[in-house]
Chain A
Amino acid sequence: MLTQIITFLIFFSVVGCILYGRRLIRTEKVDAVFGNPERALGGTHWVIVGSSFLLLIWLYYSWDIAKGFYPKSANELCQVGKVNDSLLGLKYQFPIEEREFKSTSQIKKENKNLEKLSIEIKNSTELDNEQKNILVSFIDKTNQLIPLLTNEDLLENETRQKIEDITGKINLLTENFQKPDYPFESEQELNDRLKAVSEEGGWGITKIDAGSGSIENTLEVPLVPATNRGLKFHTAAQELNLISDEFFKLRNHNPEFKNKIKEIKDEIKVYRNDLSGSEEIASNYAKNIVKIARRIEFASIYPPNALDKMQNAIVKFDNAQIQAQGGLRFIDIFLFPAGTIVASGPSCSEQGSGRWLPKPSDTFNKFILMSKPSVGYKDIPLLWIKMVDVSNVVGFILPDWIADILPGKYPVHTKDGIVKQNFKGVVLKVVTGDFKLLKVPVPYGHIWDSFMRVFLGLVFGIIIGVPLGLFMGLNRFAKGFFDPLIELYRPVPPLAWAPLIISVLGIDNTGKVFLLFMVSLSIMIISARAGASGTQLSKIHAAHSLGASKKQILRYVIFPNSLPEILTGIRVAVGMCWGTLVAAEFLAGTTGIGFVENVAKKYFQYEVIWITIFIMGMLGLLFDVTLRKIIDKTIPWRGKG
């Protein structure tokens, strides 16, 4: 319902804005020449057209319009797909969609194979003449098999009868299929079917695992026929399956053929048994000839006109089923662009753009579902808050060795078995978080984890990189000493380090934070260094003659002067860290937005993949906008000094 309304709204906004834009162009001043940049100013209505157009394309190519306007169409097309699937084997026997009869093409193929083999044998240098003669005679005999199958006079009455049976069944099916009340479903069957339909759910429904509460895979297309039209096709497909099974079991083997092929097989068997171990090549040729003979035996080769009636029956049924599709065909053509619903074996699936381009409605539903902390992804919410006692935070932040370095000894139990607490013991309790105070909310979840990794990596990079970079910009020794180290690791793509770092530091946060630290460190060093060495000498001179000490010059002149470079460096580093993090989370890990995408990929959850892409884009944008705001606030003099 919502999809329908949105589709109409978007459509009308596109049309309205285009009309408005055209009117505006006509009423614009005549002297607006081409090349005047002012002509690119404004134009909110074109922004609406652009974004609506994008949305419309998304709606259309993800088949969400089809889903919105004809929610049952996928189920019906699935049933049609079943018919096509069952009909496929039979149709391939005839020049309906193919160029020639299956029999013809098979005869052509085997003739060619036999000819090739015979030339090979005749030209072989490793066979003596006697062997060649024997093998060529085998080929000739195999060649004589085909006329035995294609001769109408040799066709047995039994086979003929069976073909007529099958033809009659197809014709009966066609006749029944065209009746309005086909497949004559009883009340009981109807109820059972409707129950199955409601249990199965609709097109693209998301199921939630009852045990863990996490998102299970989505049902792509419901299988059980929900409509009468669908049921018609479903039943016809089942019947067609039986008919085609019957046909493919049928063998056109008359007694002459049976004798002949037995003779060939026996002869070749005897011949191969008599060959010594050194005559392997001849044996192989003989084996290949038997293979071809077997292929001819099991190919459905019939006399030229023997199956004509059956072909007509199939064409008639095909026409009847196409006719019965009615409006569904047009829905298929127009609302399922770049693909359709295909049935194969026991399931129906979307094949085409609807498969990898998730429907907006599904995507939003799933996003809302995933945002729920009780669902999340892999039992972890995307972003939520949990109450944690302050003691845990304190215990995590303060290192335990603080207690160790204090003077004195830890308490020892007395002979009465009592432990008397002392100061050192109390400190240990504090630094290990062994106390209860109050609970504070702490965010957690996939998004938060990714965010914290980037944040921590960046902060460590800044804390170490900026002072080191400034030092290197001001001191020849520092520059010379650290330069080789940094230049050695910096040009390596960060991800090339990932396998090493992850194997050494583990798949958890430590490894990733260290990787991001490496990424941001080199960028921060280079930018701080450029900032420091770019300080105007006259400013340093001025500070000197105003009585500033070395420390003060560093703090009040060189550092603020390098700030623009440093902040630009941070902006670059954030981008690099974000990219590296997502890829690192692909490699290994148990949380994080990259991890979610990687898992979704494994289960073909295209909606989740698109949701993670969207979240990453939004977070990246958020970082960049925030940094830009900070930069504008802190260094308004940039580019004006």
Chain B
Amino acid sequence: MSDLISQNLNMIFKTPKGETVHALKDLNFTLKKGELLTVLGPSGCGKTTLLNITAGFIRPTSGTITLNDKEIDGPGVERGMVFQQGALFEWLTVSENVNFGLRMKNNDPIETEKKVDEWLEIVGLKGFGNTPTYQLSGGMQQRVALARCLINDPDLILMDEPLGALDALTREKMQSLVLKIWKETGKTIILITHSVEEALLLGERLYVMAPRPGRIHKEYNLPFASMGLKQDLREIKKDKDFSAKREEILEMIWNMEEEIMGKEI
């Protein structure tokens, strides 16, 4: 039973002006071990709030969220996180960044070193161990962030638009890397994205969220992620089914956006 279970999750913020924002409303979902969930939605629909609650950075107003039958009430090692800008520690080298978690746990240095080398090879940064992180490109920084998160062997990996700031080519490579890691480690992954294509490509399951109040609008079970493990991602994009789903979701999001605009005007 290593599932992520959310029950009646509610999150209400108060803005400094005194308005209340219903960021999440009655969120109920279950994520089984080893599933890859992508979350999509227009801005302000509570995607990041959901991720922050799951990571334990903020507490929900009401409702519970449990991982492995344990209620989440703070950040923990079993839930690793990858941020949009990498959030690397620029005063450390690549390998120091990667072994940060293990160092904090005072693990055996020699063993740690071995592990770091392994993970650097997996993410394709072999030989970059002593490079300062500020000298890396955006894609390489995200690889470091991935390795740093994975070396801790978390049960659940949370990704907050990890590929959002990358150029198209790097992005494709990183998407393959995410799939590869997912397959090899069998981790549960929640990935938040702005890109419909990315959500379709990577998501075994896909939630489209709607704003005001933040809720799950539609849920998909998709075959493309498992296809992507075997074949080229570009080929999948040409798939007819893929295009149809993409158009459908795009239309859905457009309608939501228009609704919001209408409300505001």
Contacts and interface: CB of A to CB of B under 8 A. Distances in A.
A640 B90 contact: yes
Contacts of B55: 541, 545
A546 interface: yes
A543 interface: yes
Nearest to B91: A560
B134 A637 contact: yes
A536 B87 contact: yes
Contacts of A546: 77, 80, 100-101, 104, 148-149, 152
Contacts of B79: 545
B50 interface: no
B85 A538 contact: yes
B15 to A, nearest CB: 18
Contacts of A541: 55, 57, 75, 81, 83, 87
B152 A547 contact: yes
B234 interface: no
Contact of A547 (B87, B101, B133, B134): B101
B152 A637 contact: no
Contacts of B91: 560-561, 563, 635, 637
Given A561-B91, A641-B90, A542 B81 contact: yes
A545 B80 contact: yes
A295 interface: no
Interface in A527-572: 536, 538-539, 541-549, 552, 556-557, 560-561, 563
Interface string B56-69: 11000000000000
Given A541-B75, A561-B91, A637-B91, A547 B81 contact: no
B223 interface: no
Contacts of B109: none
Contacts of A641: 90, 134
B132 A545 contact: no
Contacts of A556: 89, 100, 104
B127 interface: no
Contacts of B85: 538
B124 interface: no
Nearest to B134: A640
A545 B149 CA distance: 8
B105 interface: yes
Contacts of A560: 89, 91
Nearest to B160: A538
Nearest to A547: B77
A617 interface: no
Contacts of A542: 81, 83, 87, 89, 145, 148
Given A557-B89, A563-B91, A543 B100 contact: yes
A549 B103 CA distance: 12
Contacts of B75: 541, 544-545
Nearest to A641: B90
A604 B148 CA distance: 68
A548 B101 CA distance: 7
Interface string B81-102: 1011101011100000000110
Contacts of B186: none
A556 B89 CA distance: 9
Contacts of B57: 541, 544
B76 interface: yes
A506 interface: no
A538 B80 contact: no
A71 interface: no
B45 to A, nearest CB: 20
B139 to A, nearest CB: 17
Nearest to A639: B134
A636 interface: yes
Contacts of A640: 90, 134
A641 B141 CA distance: 11
A602 to B, nearest CB: 52
A542 B101 CA distance: 10
Interface in A599-641: 635-637, 640-641
A48 B222 CA distance: 76
A409 to B, nearest CB: 45
Nearest to B77: A547
Nearest to B81: A545
Given A539-B89, A552-B104, A637-B90, 13 more contacts: A538-B85, A541-B57, A541-B81, A542-B145, A542-B148, A546-B100, A548-B104, A556-B89, A556-B104, A637-B132, A637-B133, A641-B90, A641-B134
Pairs of residues from A and B, 9 with the lowest C-beta to C-beta distance, nearest first: A544-B75, A546-B101, A547-B77, A538-B87, A640-B134, A641-B90, A637-B90, A560-B91, A545-B81
Interface of A: 536, 538-539, 541-549, 552, 556-557, 560-561, 563, 635-637, 640-641
Interface of B: 55-57, 75-77, 79-81, 83-85, 87, 89-91, 100-101, 104-105, 132-134, 145, 148-149, 152, 158
11 contacts: A536-B87, A538-B83, A538-B85, A541-B83, A542-B89, A546-B148, A547-B105, A552-B104, A556-B89, A556-B100, A556-B104
